[in-house]
Amino acid sequence: MGDSTPLGEFLRARREALKPQDVGLRAHGRRRAPGLRREEVAVLAGVSSDYYMRLEQGRESSPSAQVVEALAAALDLDGAAAGHLRRLARTPPGPHRPVSGPEQVSPQLRRLLADWPGTPAFVLGPALDVLAHNALAAALHSGFERFDNLARMVFLDLAGRGFYQDWHRAAHGCAAELRAAYGRDPASARIGEVVDTLCARSPAFAALWARHDVGGKTLQHKDLHHSRVGGLEVQFHAFTVNEAPQQQLIVYQAEPGSGTAAAFAELAPPAGHRAPVAEGLPGREPVAAET
């Protein structure tokens, strides 16, 4: 993950992603590097150039709330990115916490997954580890080497390119979700482990990670392709788990009477089938919901 201050890395990446015209400035002369100059951001935010430079370099890491809001406006951040900036400004850099044991999914939530035999559903941890899933979710992702971590599946598993019909959108979403999770918990060794692995093995992920885009799962449409049943059009829902706020319950739904609904019925294992437990990344194994 590097030794730089997360706040400084984020400010620099977002500054370099902007053009002068994006924030109402005129471009004067030839620029040696893309994006806004530090001095331009400082003027837009109403702070001194020296102070802003210290923020980027990590020599200043506790800006006031007023300065944070001014920087969010100067960098034209949307709601998710502005929230990420606020979290980074409140969180001093520190050493990563040791990796603990696998995150626990409550028995009640695992029973809920099993009670939806016709709907793919699974639980994600903050590092996009698949912590639990029902049988139909396992069948839907059966073309992957392992159903263990969504980011690994998108960037490192060859099946990902065919499964996600808009792979670039899926890839951008994974990187943005991991960036948001990192902002909420920069000391998480598990998030650091996943990011380091992906940066080392996937140039596509490394490039997206360097952009510092921030996002989260919302209600949206997904186009998938399964090797056995063909194209699938699903509605995607994400719910925060109250007893474990770092976990998300993910549910895929098909329009009633649609070809996707028929495909789900074809993929659904026989009644009484136990979903397989996939092998996760080191120290992480998703737990199958009992059926």
255 backbone dihedrals φ, ψ, rounded to 5°: -65, 130
Task: Report helix, strand or coil for 244.
Answer: strand
User: What is the amino acid identity at position 258?
Assistant: S
As beta bridge partners, residue 233 has: 223
Q: Read off the pLDDT of each residue in 97-125 and give the average, rounded to a whole number.
A: 85
Q: Is residue 160 part of a domain?
A: yes
Residue range 2-56, pLDDT digits in tens: 447 889 999 999 999 888 877 777 666 666 767 888 999 999 999 999 999 999 9
Task: Based on the fold, state whether residues 84 and 197 are members of the same structural domain.
Answer: no
pLDDT tops 90 at residue 187: no
Label residue 283 by pLDDT band (50, 70, 90).
very low
Q: For the residues 172-198, what does the mean pLDDT come to? A: 92
CATH number of the CATH domain containing 151: 3.30.450.180
What is the value of pTM for the model shown?
0.78
What is the rounded average pLDDT of the residues 105-130?
93
* pLDDT of amino acid 101: 58
The whole-chain average pLDDT of the chain stands at 86
Within this chain, do residues 207 and 68 fall inside the same structural domain, yes or no? no
Supply the pLDDT for residue 154: 97
Whole-number pLDDT of residue 280: 41
User: Where does the pLDDT of residue 100 fall: very low under 50, low under 70, confident under 90, or very high at 90 and above?
Assistant: low
- Cα 190 to chain center, whole Å? 13
99 within some domain: no
Does 286 have pLDDT greater than 70?
no
| 78 and 130 belong to one structural domain | no
Does residue 102 fall inside a structural domain?
no
Q: Can you give the residue range of the structural domain that contains 63? A: 6-90
Rounded Cα distance between 109 and 190, Å, is 23
In a domain, 244, yes or no: yes
Whether residue 96 is contained in a domain is answered as no
Output the CA torsion sign for 81, 90, 103, 106: negative
Whether residue 93 has pLDDT greater than 60: no
Return d(Cα 43, Cα 52) in angstroms, integer: 10
Confidence of residue 78 (pLDDT cuts 50, 70, 90): confident
In this predicted model, what pLDDT tens digit does every residue of 235-278 receive, in sequence order? 989 998 888 878 999 999 999 999 999 999 999 887 655 554 33
Q: Average pLDDT for residues 201-225, to the nearest whole number?
A: 88
pLDDT for 133-160, tens place per residue?
A: 999 999 999 999 999 999 999 999 999 9
What proportion of the chain, given as a percentage, has pLDDT over 70?
84
pLDDT of residue 177: 93
* Residue 86 vs residues 64, 122, 198: alpha-carbon distances, Å: 10, 30, 26
Looking at the structure, do residues 146 and 210 belong to the same domain, yes or no? yes
**Do 175 and 64 share a domain, yes or no?**
no
